[in-house]
Amino acid sequence: MSTQDLHAAAKRCLDATDPAEKLRLTHATWQALQAGELQPDPNSPPPEPIGSPGRPERPHLVPQRQVPHRGLGSAEGRAGLVHAVAHIEFNAINLAWDAVYRFRDKPGAYYRDWAGCAHDEARHFALLTGRLAELGHVYGDFDAHNGLWEMAEKTALYDTARMALVPRVLEARGLDVTPGMIERLRCVGDEGTIAILEVILREEVAHVAAGTRWFRWCCERDGLDPRETFLDLLRDYMGRTLRGPFNRPARIEAGFDEEELDRLTMLAL
């Protein structure tokens, strides 16, 4: 790659609007970082104010309550589910690269973690769009919502909030709901989609764990109690919109502790 600045490389990935190009840049940037060809440059220009990430014109983005819920008894309904998960994974690529681009002066392990997450999310997106094609659709055929990125915008100026609320709340929700999706798909015999969701569920545990690790790092840096800070951030940014129930075994594996989960359960709708 022409530059050694990891932040600039992350920005190129973030800005790419064509999904195929975003995936190509993501994998190339991850490989260059692994090879030692990229590193955070302290002289890199400061991050620009957050705006919309690079994405295609479609899907059309609507409020979350306007995204239709489809049954899984039809191929169309299953395609709608696969599309919804693909959209989450596409957003997750952008979220990971924004974490690399926006938040500076972190240990090298921080940047490796989030670049590695981007690489995984890009692979997940490719698996899902491949399955979508088998079901007769492409990414963009169904409406989607922008909830993940809206939280990125709200937390753009505060790394502790970003680490707490994007990986440990919004992305961790996938740990809670994916087992139920898999069971519903098993009832209709969709083994192709199940195989992909099982890969994603297994690998997303590590992504939520990265959020836990760097949230606690931020708290230690600032002399904050992680458990109380997490609950404060939930109240400040999300009010009473936390949803349960929680996949306790997966969340424990991702770094939550039992007391924290007990308190989350009391807060959840």
Q: What is residue 65's predicted lDDT score, i.e. its pLDDT?
A: 82
DSSP string, the chain: ----BHHHHHHHHHH--SHHHHHHHHHHHHHHHHTT--B--TTSPPPPPP-PPS--S-SPB--GGGSPP--TTSHHHHHHHHHHHHHHHHHHHHHHHHHHHH--S--HHHHHHHHHHHHHHHHHHHHHHHHHHHTT--TTSS-B--HHHHHHHHTTT-HHHHHHHIIIIIITHHHHHHHHHHHHHHHTT-HHHHHHHHHHHHHHHHHHHHHHHHHHHHHHHHT--HHHHHHHHHHHHHTT-------HHHHHHTT--HHHHHHHHHH--
pTM score, whole prediction? 0.96
pLDDT score, position 240: 65
pLDDT for position 3: 55
Question: What's residue 241's pLDDT?
Answer: 74
User: Domain locations in the chain?
Assistant: 6-267
- Per-residue pLDDT, 70: 75
pLDDT along the chain (269 residues), means of 10: 82 98 98 96 96 97 84 91 97 98 97 98 98 97 94 97 97 96 96 98 98 98 97 89 92 96 89
- Position 2 scores a pLDDT of 47
